[in-house]
Structure 1
Amino acid sequence: MKRYFSLTLITTAILAGCATTSITSDDVAKGYNSIQADEIAKHVKVLASDEFGGRAPSSEGEKLTLDYLTKEFTALGFEPGNGDSFFQEVPLVSLEADSDMVLNIGGKDYQNKKDMVMGSSRISAQEGIENSELVFVGYGVNAPEYNWNDYEGLDVKGKTVVMLVNDPGFATKDPNLFTGDAMTYYGRWTYKYEEASRQGAAGAIIIHETAPASYPWSVVENSWSGEQFGFVKDNNNMDRVAVEGWVTVDVAKELFTKAGLDFDTAKAEAAKGAYHVDMGDLAATVNVKNTIKKSVSYNFIATLPGSKTPDEHIIYSAHWDHLGTDKNRKGDQIYNGAHDNATGTAGMIEVAEAFTKLGKRPDRSMTFLAVTAEEQGLLGSKYYAANPVIPANKTVANINMDSLNLLGKVKDISVVGIGKSQMDELLATAAKEQGRTVSGDPKPSSGGYYRSDHFAFANMGVPAMYAGGGSEAFDEETANYRKRMSLVLRGCYHQPCDRYRDEWDLSGAVQDLQLFYKVGFDISQQTQWPTWNENSEFQRK
């Protein structure tokens, strides 16, 4: 059912100095109301179909995805966003560790996937550690601005560091420690391996716990096994630790006991201040045999040129990729990635179509960027940030769409990383017209602002918004549905069961996409650009 929305022409409460335009409020409403649940579903069904094979980078599923995006955006009248091409090449290398490996510590073999997951980021056929001494380094953080260094006075060359996931603020909930319950980048697994490498360690092992990681062991088991993609570098990543991986918390507790330590006590000490302790005479041995494949994947980029300042762009982003197909898995082998992130990719198409309903193009260009290899560590967006098709000083703002709301209409909209930029205020103004309010990150401990593709734009200095969903159901019927479906969605994160379901309630996704469209339109018509707030760690460079 179409829902007409009363729209003011341009938001005036936030940014001063509006430009005049012949686009009427009725024109804006046409685009707004064109965003429909059945259209979102249509795109998701295709992108998340078995035919697309889980949309792994450099696979047949990638080709099918890029062909689909090209067809859809061409039909909408969008132009290639990278010169005469819709594509940006992203050189990748895939490393697939032989699954038949064991991690030996203290004379006991720990099994791949069941007890641990190990791999190597080095572009090498074989890497390993042999009798490498274990050192517990707390959270594995070196953060001068927080006066915290778990490595202080410690030489870990040739050793394997063992560390906790997340950061100390999560453990204590102290708002004065890091950022309290909200994860910082120091809590991310990517940082922990990077810092261990900078410190000269031979190996790096993260202890998995579901609450601070924000996902169960099954996500580690599925996401860090099979093909792992990275960038092709001149040094073949030889500056990384030889072996990096995860162990279950039960394995960790066993190792601490063998070392004459108590895991819970050591964990508590690690949250009080910079901390490290040798793990007795425990040493680790594991050999990682890699199958190496170099390939090229692609970011997709399409543009609707602006009518007045076409060199200034508002960029909408979403990642098109997922985990692909695991032929070694019993039963369902395809990770269809319907929620994550066929929904975001479908939403991007819907918002793009909405801008074609205006009758006249917005003042600034509207650009849509679907990136590759997000599931492999935000590689597509990282590559774009390092090699921007549109320079940062011509990129006005970024709006990111990752895993849309499938839980029905809500009275609020959650903003991940709330308080960082004026984008929040623009969103609040648009949300008010829907009768909604802006709420904070529903799970700040998961570090969501550092886990999707807007993060690359933030690092470029571009104000980037990542929002969607909410916690306050529209009515009792929706509340009951949310309880049922949220369990399904949570259990299917990075699992083969993340597939399209007819019982999804996409009305909440429609709400959010309409807001993203309205915020992008308002920014496109404003004279001034949105800015970062003073207390944000990101600023225009």
Structure 2
Amino acid sequence: MRSSLALAAGIALLSSYAHAQSLPVVAEAPLRAHLSFLADDLLEGRGTGQRGGDLAVRYLETQAALIGLQPLKDGTYRQGLKIVGSKALPDSTVSFTAGGKTFSPVVGKGIVYGASNGQEKVVFDASVVFVGYGIRAPEEQWDDFKGIDVKGKLLVMMVNDPQPTAAEPNRFAGKSLTYYGRWVYKYEEALRQGAAGVLLIHTTESASYPWSVPANGFSHERFNLAGAGNAFEGWLQEDTARELFQAAGQDLDALRTKAETREFQPVALNATVQVKLDSKIRSIEQFNVAGIVPGTDPKLKDEAVIYSAHWDHLGIDEGGQARGDKTDHIYNGAVDNASGAAALLAMAQVAVKQPARRTQIFLWPAGEETGMLGSTAWVRSPLWPLDKTAADLNLDSMNFVGKTRDIGVAGAERSSLYASAGKVAKRMGLRLAPAIPDLSGAYFRADHFSFAKAGVPAFNVGSAVFSGDGYFDFVKDPKASSERMVAFKKVYHQVTDEYNPAWDLSGMVQQAQFTLNLGYEVANDKTMPTWNKGEAFGKVKR
């Protein structure tokens, strides 16, 4: 009996090994070469609307052609997207009048704001309405607007979601952040409501990041896809919000408490806002880069698996340069996301030599750092039908520390991709990393989410940095390796995110290999991945 079990185990192991051997193998040398180039000062941080971004696009399409990827449409690897750049000018003013008092918060310290509608001048006076979390979620039986007309009014909202209670510990995903809690959703909902503008109340706890993040973001040029957008949007520092509410005769904390219930009603503050917003506007064209490996199956080749990794980062701090600062002005974005862009090139290089049954698409979206603009443009005007897109496997900010015994698949549990990931991990001798609450909404912050919103099963593979709380099981020096990963949080979106030739890229290669193996698992399967029953994104038409 024992010998039979041993024989069966041996056969299973050999079968697993043979399967692994039959898949293309990602090599470290090309990955490292692409990474070191894309993160070099020469590319000036690959900024949206900057020369470095143009260089990155040219490099990616040249490499795609050299590798042997086929262009998707009209002989080009590019998909153009129209973007509007906007930056509030210093002569802009915002003031509040409440309780007979008029005050103007200091820009950068008490308030930050801008326009996303592409208009150079925005001028209005409006009444102010507090709308709690600003959420309309029928599946949660939640509506912070209650059918009240807020057109032409300034909406003030809280960020994050309604918090779980003892009676409803799992409402709005419990401790995890849902899309309703993200600032992006808040701005989208204000636009749908026809509001004159929207301001979000910032606290470090509710936003999951300090005031410096929105303050820094609004101090630079902001980008949006051309088309509809809010005429006025921004953030209020909490002390400024308290001052406004107190002057209007309201207790902010009491209203926050009411906003935690379904019975909450919008509260019209005894306050008005006077906005005079002048913006520097420019229209630019940016490009997604994409190439394909056609499938081999006569029927399944019409369906595709997408691998994605954004090419852009924050570029050059041109304001610092103009001021003559003697500091580094280049946001190289080595980990975020030269790593993912380089990995896709290394994966494509071996995938072209061994096609799968379904078509494989290698996609480098533009403008992720400015609001996932490239992936949003793709799903709005896809170069491959969304109903024929099996999955999107995204790579963003990869493991630069070393090999692990497990792999992160946060978000895969929403669909059958989790079971597929489990099979692939087992074949590679890996475990799936344990699930942890998504407190910062990481699932909604990378390009795969654009596909998920469009109904395509998708997740960010590995997500070692976004989930980098030290739980990954590193093979070498686990404690020190985990500390290095966690320490990257201080480097994230700083000029210090630079390529280091001494990096051990074995973990990055491992992550790229897992992603490619999972892609082949999906591309060769008889059926397309499916969302789990009851999953919110499963209701979106593909």
TM-score (norm 1): 0.87
Once structures 1 and 2 are overlaid, which stretch shifts more, 383-392 or 462-471? 462-471
Check 1:65–1:418 CA distance in 2 against 1; reply closer, same or farther (3 A cut).
Answer: same
Check 1:218–1:493 CA distance in 2 against 1; reply closer, same or farther (3 A cut).
Answer: farther
How far off is 1:206 after superposition? 0.6
Pair 1:164-2:158 in alignment:
yes
CA contact 1:409–1:511 (8 Å) conserved in 2: yes
Check 1:387–1:140 CA distance in 2 against 1; reply closer, same or farther (3 A cut).
Answer: same
Which runs of structure 2 are paired with 1:229-308 in the superposition (5 Å)? 229-233=223-227, 237=228, 240-276=229-265, 278=267, 280-308=269-297
Pair 1:144-2:138 in alignment:
yes
Opposite residue 330 of structure 2, the aligned amino acid is: I
Pair 1:121-2:112 in alignment:
no
Check 1:65–1:425 CA distance in 2 against 1; reply closer, same or farther (3 A cut).
Answer: same
How far off is 1:414 after superposition? 2.4
Instruction: Tell me the residue number matched to 1:3.
Output: none
What is the alpha-carbon root mean square deviation over aligned residues?
A: 2.7
How far off is 1:418 after superposition? 3.9
Instruction: Tell me the residue number matched to 1:518.
Output: 517
Check 1:96–1:269 CA distance in 2 against 1; reply closer, same or farther (3 A cut).
Answer: same
Instruction: Tell me the residue number matched to 1:494.
Output: 493
Instruction: Tell me the residue number matched to 1:20.
Output: none
How far off is 1:7 after superposition? 8.4
Once structures 1 and 2 are overlaid, which stretch shifts more, 278-287 or 374-383? 278-287
CA contact 2:88–2:278 (8 Å) conserved in 1: yes
Opposite residue 339 of structure 1, the aligned amino acid is: V
TM-score (norm 2): 0.86
Instruction: Tell me the residue number matched to 2:200.
Output: 206
- What residue ranges of structure 2 are gaps of 5+ in the alignment? 1-11
How far off is 1:392 after superposition? 1.9
Give the Cα–Cα distance (whole angstroms) in 2 for the partners of residues 339 and 100 of structure 1.
37
Which runs of structure 2 are paired with 1:81-480 in the superposition (5 Å)? 81-106=72-97, 107-130=102-125, 132-152=126-146, 154-169=148-163, 174-233=168-227, 237=228, 240-276=229-265, 278=267, 280-309=269-298, 310-329=301-320, 330=325, 331-356=327-352, 360-439=354-433, 441-468=435-462, 469=464, 471-475=471-475, 477-480=477-480
- What residue ranges of structure 1 are gaps of 5+ in the alignment? 1-5, 12-22
CA contact 1:90–1:383 (8 Å) conserved in 2: yes
Give the Cα–Cα distance (whole angstroms) in 1 for the partners of residues 167 and 510 of structure 2.
33
Give the Cα–Cα distance (whole angstroms) in 2 for the partners of residues 350 and 303 of structure 1.
14
Deviations, residues 138-159 of structure 1 (Å, cap 9, x unaligned): 1011222211111125343332
Opposite residue 531 of structure 2, the aligned amino acid is: W
Once structures 1 and 2 are overlaid, which stretch shifts more, 330-339 or 188-197? 330-339
Check 1:437–1:524 CA distance in 2 against 1; reply closer, same or farther (3 A cut).
Answer: same
CA contact 2:119–2:231 (8 Å) conserved in 1: no
Opposite residue 95 of structure 1, the aligned amino acid is: S
How far off is 1:297 after superposition? 1.1
Give the Cα–Cα distance (whole angstroms) in 1 for the partners of residues 204 and 350 of structure 2.
40
Opposite residue 452 of structure 2, the aligned amino acid is: A
Instruction: Tell me the residue number matched to 2:27.
Output: 35
Instruction: Tell me the residue number matched to 1:14.
Output: none
Give the Cα–Cα distance (whole angstroms) in 1 for the partners of residues 49 and 376 of structure 2.
17
How far off is 1:455 after superposition? 1.9
Paired residue secondary structure (1:406): coil
Paired residue secondary structure (2:219): coil
Paired residue secondary structure (2:303): strand
Deviations, residues 196-235 of structure 1 (Å, cap 9, x unaligned): 22223222001122233233322212333322222223xx
Check 1:134–1:491 CA distance in 2 against 1; reply closer, same or farther (3 A cut).
Answer: farther
How far off is 1:480 after superposition? 1.9
CA contact 2:154–2:196 (8 Å) conserved in 1: yes
Deviations, residues 394-450 of structure 1 (Å, cap 9, x unaligned): 322211111112343333322232421111111111112333322355451222222
How far off is 1:476 after superposition? 7.1
CA contact 1:354–1:517 (8 Å) conserved in 2: no
Instruction: Tell me the residue number matched to 1:26.
Output: 21
CA contact 2:130–2:269 (8 Å) conserved in 1: no
Paired residue secondary structure (2:198): strand
Paired residue secondary structure (1:328): helix
Give the Cα–Cα distance (whole angstroms) in 1 for the partners of residues 373 and 395 of structure 2.
16
Paired residue secondary structure (1:512): helix
Instruction: Tell me the residue number matched to 2:39.
Output: 48
CA contact 2:114–2:277 (8 Å) conserved in 1: yes
Instruction: Tell me the residue number matched to 2:7.
Output: none
Give the Cα–Cα distance (whole angstroms) in 1 for the partners of residues 73 and 441 of structure 2.
32
Give the number of equivalent residue pairs. Answer: 512
Give the Cα–Cα distance (whole angstroms) in 2 for the partners of residues 155 and 24 of structure 1.
60
